[in-house]
Chains A and B, each alone.
Chain A
């Protein structure tokens, strides 16, 4: 059962298309497994539709329609080539969220006792700091805070921190005001996370210290 959902503001920003790409990807992973949030998002998108419908129309150039008509028979753009994705040897039965279909996924890198990291690179937004994390059972991540928003979607297993327990399908939104110390469940934890800020790897420093 899913206990942790995106906040209403986050879902609104996702519907409006204003979340950073990495955070949007994590929210998309949550939506795939959460009918309640999909329904909520659909209502918010309908609000977007209603607002669009009510906007005062802006005149287009006289030749706009003719220009588009002339292009209707053009072939649609070819899809991008499939991204490189390392074989992560995931636990039996775990499939990565469909939202990662077009992302490049690196192999697991050891970054601390019991903690592995795989870089997720979005070819369409390569500056985004997105990763898969695999934390061994009972492993404690050192106490840390955030420079900006950190979204974490649990894919397998779970963890607990000061704000509660997070199991499969749960999403955690931590901002710069939260300092927490996640501890993986006995079976371990695999999650997808997006952090605000360039290509720094804050996990590296804080995990190595643990």
Chain B
């Protein structure tokens, strides 16, 4: 197979040099076997431009650091292989999040804010008794909680969401999924009403216009569409109940 020369068209912007407007810069390198965008971007930084900014941590699609737009699609750079890319690839930072420079965005701050707003912790008055055996849980339930907890906070569902792009307080699919995670967990003693106060607003489930790019873009396959449906269904049932009472 012929060795390919690849072009990467990368958005450049350094907030410390505001006089230079955001622009695209072309980089060229020779493709190698098994090459991922993790390898590509590090090579470009070390061999061509040491100021190039991007984020990786685990480089194994576990930590959620490297979400970016690869030819327009939000995905994790670490698991994107060059053999699946055309000769010219455009790399842009994820929208919605604050831009720190080039491809680096502040997803951490966004997710922390969302976690605080949805009060993403177990609400209980029970205290831990060190010598007591653990409270039993059916394994099916444990798996159900884990399914929602698998979200890695990469922001691909947010970057590709039409609502999140125009509505800065929208908690997005990640936020709805987070609420669903706690709703199924019997250790969390919040009432349905308390969950709905958080999620039953224009910034919660009612902000969603149903395009479902989030479900398509999730790089770890969290069933975001199902979670959204789950929360809406619970609300519909509860709403009917409240009206009766």
Q: Do A and B bind each other?
A: no
Show the binding face of B for A, using Cβ within 8 Å.
none
Residues of chain A whose beta carbon lies under 8 Å from any beta carbon of chain B? none
